[in-house]
């Protein structure tokens, strides 16, 4: 079998995604029954492509090798959780942090502290123990948690980053920033409306 850049570690990367996705599925089922509402709209998973990993290693000034890709860059395996409301994002973060076998390595709240360009999302890097063929492997996983509106914004902004020679770049950056603020306000208003409906 032809093994790529991640070699046999691809098994760990796939397994960590499967493990955490399964735990999230249980949360979703439980919430649907207990609260009659699933706080998660959808989940996206990915293993970082070889090219994107190599580019990130170079960007961070690290030697391009598997050891650095797995242990210095934490997002070889990634899960993105898209929630309905902002408070769902924080609930999901708490639920993930409550698993006592999971270690939180890094945590960034870009919702309370948005990036200069307007980017909003909650980032967690966790280390997950996996039992594989009688051995315990501890594997990093990056989790990004955000609302549908934040996800919509970041997909468009991501496209711009990867396009070269964009005309009116300055205007686009300004417009995106404006949209990010409007989205943040809308997210808060949507929660207020939900609370009014539920009263």
Q: Given the rule CB under 6 A, which residues bind ligand 0O2? A: 52, 56, 75, 108, 115, 117, 119, 123, 154, 157-158
The least CB distance from residue 56 to ligand 0O2, in Å, is 5
Burial 138-159 (b: 16+ CB within 10 A, else e): ebbbbbbbbbbbbbebbeebee
Is 74 or 85 the residue whose CB approaches ligand 0O2 more closely? 74
- Could you confirm whether 142 is annotated as catalytic? yes
The least CB distance from residue 151 to ligand 0O2, in Å, is 10
> CA 144, 142, 91: angle at the middle one, nearest 5?
45
Is 45 or 117 the residue whose CB approaches ligand 0O2 more closely? 117
Is 132 or 156 the residue whose CB approaches ligand 0O2 more closely? 156
The least CB distance from residue 41 to ligand 0O2, in Å, is 18
Is 125 or 191 the residue whose CB approaches ligand 0O2 more closely? 125
Tell me which residues are annotated as active site. Answer: 142
């Amino acid at each position: 079998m032809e093994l790529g850049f991640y070699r046999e570690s691809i098994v760990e990367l796939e397994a960590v995604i499967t493990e955490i996705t399964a735990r999230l599925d249980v949360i979703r089922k439980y919430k649907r029954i207990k609260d009659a509402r699933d706080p998660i709209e959808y989940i996206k998973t990915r293993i970082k492509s070889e090219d994107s990993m190599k580019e990130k290693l170079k960007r961070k000034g690290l030697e391009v090798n598997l050891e650095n890709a797995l242990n210095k860059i934490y997002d070889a395996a990634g899960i993105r959780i898209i929630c309905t409301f902002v408070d769902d994002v924080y609930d999901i973060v708490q639920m993930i942090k409550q698993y006592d076998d999971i270690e939180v390595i890094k945590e960034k709240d870009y919702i309370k502290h948005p990036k200069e360009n307007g980017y909003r999302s909650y980032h967690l890097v966790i280390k997950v123990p996996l039992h594989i063929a009688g051995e315990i492997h501890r594997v990093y996983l990056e989790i990004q948690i955000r609302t549908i509106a934040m996800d919509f914004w970041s997909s468009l902004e991501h496209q711009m980053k990867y396009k070269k020679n964009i005309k009116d770049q300055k205007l686009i950056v300004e417009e995106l920033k404006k949209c990010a603020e409007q989205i943040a306000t809308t997210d808060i208003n949507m929660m207020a409306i939900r609370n009014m409906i539920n009263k």
